[in-house]
Structure 1
Amino acid sequence: MSAVGAVGAVSAEAASSPNITRAASSPNITRAECTAVGGQITSSPYAGYGCTLSDGTTEPIT
């Protein structure tokens, strides 16, 4: 039986992505990392800031 949690899925995606390099235990990225890979910084009420990437995913910004 194999199950992947949300953190595991984000870590796996980060590990397979050549554009974003960060520690596997930290799913958040910085503003500089976001803009460096062509992401767009977005703001959401109650959720804070995020980085919307070209593939449509949004990562929290630290």
Structure 2
Amino acid sequence: MDKMNTTKTILIPGLVYNSEQVCELFNICKKTLQTFRDKGQITYVRLGRKIVYSFEDLNDLLNRNRVEKC
């Protein structure tokens, strides 16, 4: 029986993440991530054809969308 890859992506300060990793972190599809970029809801860096996201940008996205308990 083949072993399944169970490695999970986690947010670690100081690291950058590619689109695939961000989709895995937030359990979203690539199209949703593209929509976030198009609407300016997430900050990113374009390095040639590659797009990366910093820990700080991802953390900011989470904080801006936090729902406080009443």
Q: TM-score range by the shorter chain?
A: 0.3 to 0.5
Question: TM-score, with normalisation over the residues of structure 2?
Answer: 0.31
Is the helix fraction higher in 1 or 2? 2
Higher RCO (CA 8 Å, separation ≥ 6 residues): 2
Question: TM-score, with normalisation over the residues of structure 1?
Answer: 0.33
Larger Rg belongs to: 2
Is the strand fraction higher in 1 or 2? 1
